[in-house]
Structure 1
C-alpha cells in the first residue's frame, strides 16, 4: 500500500471512529446519531450519490396497482396515476421510500429488532396505505391517516388487504391534517410508533409535520420515517428543526430488507427528548 493510500485509509478510519452509534426508542438496532445536519447532508449526497441511482426501482406509477408480498400475504395496492396531474397530489401512487420502509418493518420484526404485535401505530401521510397495511400484518393496531380528499383510495386499499381472519393486527383510516389540533380521541393513548414515508418534501410541510409530531409523540413514542434523497436543503431544514425536540438516528442500509435497498432512500429513527434534555439544549 502506498503512503497516499495509507493516508486515505487512515482518514476513513478516523471518520468511522467519530461516528456515534446509539440505540433510540423501541428500535433494537443501532443507529448513527445525527449531530450536525449539514454534515449529515454532505455525507449522504457524497457517499450515496443518489443522482446516480435509478428512481422508482420498486414501483411503476403508471400502473393501476402495485403487488408486493409481505408477512406471508400477497398485497395488491391500488393506485390512481391520473391524480399525479393534480398539482401537489403525490400520495395516490407508490414511491420507493414507502416500499423500502414497509419491507424494513417486516425485516425488523422478523429479526427481532422491532416488536409491533399489539402496539398502537399511527401512520402520517399514508397515501396508498402500503406501510400501514404491513404494520397491521406485523400485529400492530394501526391508524392510517391522510387529508380528507385522499381517504377514499386509502380506505379501498385497507379493506382489500386487511380483511382476513389470519391478520395479526388491525387497520383503520382517519382524517388528519398536519399542523392542526388532533382529535382528542387520538391523544387519549399516545402511539407506541409513528410512521411516515415521503413526508419531508417542502419547508411548509416540515413545519406542520413537526407540529403534529410534537402533539402525537410521548417520550415513549418511536418515530420511523423514510424519504427519497431529492432535495438536500429541505432534508437539512427538517433535521435542524426536528433536533430541537427529538434525538435522530440514521438506520444503516445493512438493516434494510436485503432485496429492498436503495441509495436514494434513507430511514431515520426519532425519539422525543425529555424535558430536562430540552432545557439543557436551550
Structure 2
C-alpha cells in the first residue's frame, strides 16, 4: 500500500510554469469541486493550522517590520490603527507575505527562479514587501492595490528601493474585476504575485477575473495565503481549477527560516 501511495504521489509531482522545482499538482478526477474539497481537507489535516502560532513572522502592533532580504535591511511601515476599521486591508504584514518574499529570494539563490529583467505584477500589494523583494531580485515590478490604499505602499517603495536596486518598481491602482490598464497586460507579465489575497468568497470572483485578464499561457502565478477559512480556500480552488492548472509548493522548497504551518503557497498557470 505504501508503494502504491508513493507512486500516486510521484505521478502528481511536476514542474509548472517558469518555476524550476516540482510541485504537487491538483488533478481534477471527477469534478473541480471534489478536487478542491479533497485538497482543503488534506491541508487542514496535515498542517493543522489552528495549532500553530498566528503571526509568527510579523508583529502587527508595530509601526514597522524590519527584515533582511537580498543584502538589504528593509523597513516596512505598517498602520496598526487601521486594523480596527472595517473593510480595510493591506495596512499590516501577514506571515504569508514574508513567506512569499523570502521564498522568491531563496528560489532565485538556488537557481530555481529567474526574476532578472522579468515583468512582474503584484496584486493586493498592501505594505509592499513582496514587490520590493522582487525588484531587488531584478524584476520590473508593478505593485497594485485599491486607489485608497496606495499612500502607505508608495512610501514603502520609495523608502526601501532608493539604492542598489537591480530592477524597478512602480505603484498603480487596480480594482479586481475592473479592466486593467493596458500597461499591465501588454506585454503580459512573466509573473503575477499575491499574498493573502484569498480572504473572502466575495473577492474570489473578481480576483480570478483579474488573473484571467492579466495572465497569458506563459505567465506563472505565485499565491501564498493564510489558512484561516477552509470554505473560502475551497471555493477559490474550485473556481480557479476551471481555467488554471494549480500546484502546491511543498514547504521543503520555502526559505528554511521562513515557514509556517498556517500558510500555503500555490502556483497557477493558465490552461
- TM-score norm. by structure 2 comes to 0.95
Question: Which of the two has higher C-alpha Rg?
Answer: 1
Q: Equivalent of 1:233, from 213, 231, 235?
A: 231
Q: Distance in 1 between matches of 2:64 and 2:179?
A: 33
Deviation by residue 1:163-214 (Cα, 9 ceiling, x = unmatched): 11x2110111000000001112222211000000000011110100000001
Number of residues of Structure 1 aligned to a counterpart in Structure 2: 262
Deviation by residue 1:199-252 (Cα, 9 ceiling, x = unmatched): 001111010000000100000000000001110011011011001110000001
SS at match of 1:208: helix
Question: Are 1:21 and 2:20 an aligned pair?
Answer: no
Match of 1:256 in 2: 254
Aligned-CA RMSD value:
0.9
Unaligned runs of 5+ in 1: 1-9, 274-282
Q: Distance in 1 between matches of 2:21 and 2:222?
A: 13
Deviation by residue 1:83-118 (Cα, 9 ceiling, x = unmatched): 001102131100000000000000000001100000
Unaligned runs of 5+ in 2: 28-34
Q: Distance in 1 between matches of 2:184 and 2:208?
A: 17
Q: Equivalent of 1:34, from 16, 19, 26?
A: 26
Contact preservation (8 Å) 2:121, 2:184: no
Give structure 1 regions of 4+ aligned residues with deviation exceeding 4 angstroms.
Answer: none
Match of 1:204 in 2: 202
SS at match of 1:117: coil
Question: Are 1:268 and 2:260 an aligned pair?
Answer: no
Q: Equivalent of 1:185, from 176, 180, 183?
A: 183
Match of 1:243 in 2: 241
Question: Are 1:95 and 2:85 an aligned pair?
Answer: no
Contact preservation (8 Å) 2:123, 2:145: yes
SS at match of 2:19: coil
SS at match of 1:93: coil
- TM-score norm. by structure 1 comes to 0.91
Match of 1:134 in 2: 133
Q: Distance in 1 between matches of 2:48 and 2:200?
A: 21
After TM superposition, list the pairs within 5 Å mapping 1:143-182 onto structure 2. 143-164=142-163, 166-182=164-180
Match of 1:45 in 2: 44
SS at match of 2:169: strand
Match of 1:65 in 2: 64
